[in-house]
A and B are shown apart, each in its own frame.
Chain A
């Protein structure tokens, strides 16, 4: 079997202020094993909703999502989600945060600390094992959150704009690190972002979504060897192409916000 995830005719409606809003409209796509897939789209297009549905935190209103042929009914450890917001448990230090998933699954203390230390090293945070989240910068917290998800060894890593709140430099470093980890650990990654450059830099394929209700506008395979150079001609070509596809949609979503003002956060 080639596909780890199959998204079949998935739609999602939300009720807000007694009005039904169609956030995601009849989405169908597959994610291959070991693939790095990005989803880009204008804000409010439902891309986060898609990720939350794959994670099992939201149920599709219609359609179904299959993982390795089995229907997803709820959240589970095989689909790890890295949120956009900082989500470390503030009363746990870095080591215990990274080991959290393993602890839940009953891995003995010694073993889970060993694994956690390995991932803390991987994200370049050795020496911070005993630090608490409030002592860390946003970028460090996000790195720990990524380590926490990876240490739990999920088959699919879902990432919801994980670098959105970070400055450009930290972002570039983390993108680089993420690719290294992805190549080494052979994970499947579904990555939501509003940055086209980020999507082109990271992904095997980029799904471009329309403005709300979110549909698939195009799927673009990025045929560039890694590590990719952001200033290479081909890179810029890909970027332009996707930006052009997105442009109309961003305008649409902008007008939608201006005239309707009842958006759902993305």
Chain B
């Protein structure tokens, strides 16, 4: 590990600590040790809203549900859209129109349709994760070299074989990239969704609640947890990409 990489973060921490001591106002900037105290005691109840660990698990569960739902719809639809021009023509315009709308712009509609609560949050996460998954899947399927399909045909492959044994395996790396990006966006969306009225648990909720009580140490601790989990999510999926899809560099 390159030690130079840690110079800037350590300097940053030192600067933060100095600034906090100088300001001497934890409502604006709490000292580092206060935040660490929250982080190393994740099992202790905070502000009467459950522990940091519980709230983190609530958020993770929500993200997983929305993300899995988005994958379960986005991947198959993307494969069909990429492979069958008819399906593409059916859905293309709708997708292109909905795609640029930020997930949070759906909040009012989500609240109107599903009321305040889990379903609305799930919907927002779904919207956030769905489009990157769908678009990367379509790109993956469309990017399958024609010559691989022709090769399979001259070996006797029929439509079903081509889809199952050539198109889908060849687009897996791209699908996984879509899932990785989708997971990242889903994670951002859950925090935002939990800040909505009606939320009563989760990291997003905890941040807003701690803010209302001027507990900036809890706010910052939650932010750090959010950052770390996002990083683990991204790195984990990247690891799978590198480990199992080395061959993808061969497809041009």
Residue positions of A touching B, CB distance < 8 A: 55-57, 74-77, 79-81, 83, 85, 87, 89-91, 100-101, 103-105, 132-134, 148-149, 152, 158
Number of A-B contacts defined by CB within 8 Å: 72
Residue from A57, A89, A90, A91 within 8 A of B154 (CB atoms): A57
The 9 A-B residue pairs with the shortest CB-CB distance, nearest first, are: A77-B156, A101-B155, A90-B247, A75-B153, A81-B154, A90-B250, A87-B151, A134-B250, A104-B161
Shortest CB-to-CB span from B217 to chain A, Å, is 49
Minimum CB–CB distance from B115 to chain A (whole Å) comes to 45
**Residue contact B151 to A104, C-beta cutoff 8 Å:** no
Q: Does B170 contact A (CB under 8 A)?
A: yes
The answer for the CA separation of A191 and B150 in the assembled complex, in Å, is: 18
With a cutoff of 8 Å between Cβ atoms, the chain B residues found around residue A85 in the complex are 147
Closest to B146 in A: A57
Assess whether B166 is interfacial by the CB under 8 Å rule. Answer: yes
What residues of A have a CB within 8 angstroms of the CB of B172 in the complex? 91
With A55-B154, A80-B155 given, name 8 new contacts (CB 8 A).
A81-B150, A83-B147, A89-B151, A89-B170, A90-B247, A90-B248, A91-B169, A152-B156
Provide the bound-state CA to CA distance between A103 and B158, in Å. 12
Contact of A91 among B151, B158, B170 (CB under 8 A): B170
CB of A57 within 8 A of CB of B150, answer yes
Contact A134 B246 (CB under 8 A): yes
Asked whether, in the complex, the Cβ of A134 is within 8 Å of the Cβ of B247, the reply is yes
Q: Does B148 sit at the interface, judged by CB under 8 A? A: yes
A41 to B170, CA, bound (A): 35
- CB <8 Å contact, A133 and B147: no
Least Cβ–Cβ distance between A92 and chain B, in angstroms: 8
Cβ-neighbour of A104 out of B157, B170, B246, B247 (below 8 A) = B157
CA distance A63 to B68 in the complex (A): 53
**Min distance, Cβ A140 to any Cβ of chain B, angstroms:** 14
Distance (whole angstroms) from the CB of A89 to the closest CB of chain B: 6
Residues of A contacting B148 in the complex (Cβ-Cβ under 8 angstroms):
87, 89
Q: Which of A55, A74, A75, A103 has the most CB of B within 10 A?
A: A75
Contacts of A87 in B (CB 8 A): 147-148, 151
B161: nearest chain-A partner, CB-CB: A104
CA–CA, A57 to B247, complex, Å? 27
On whether the beta carbons of B166 and A89 are closer than 8 Å, the reply is yes
CA A80 – CA B155 in complex, angstroms? Answer: 6
Contacts of B170 in A (CB 8 A): 89-91
Contact with A along B223-252 (1 / 0, CB 8 A): 000000000000000000000011111110
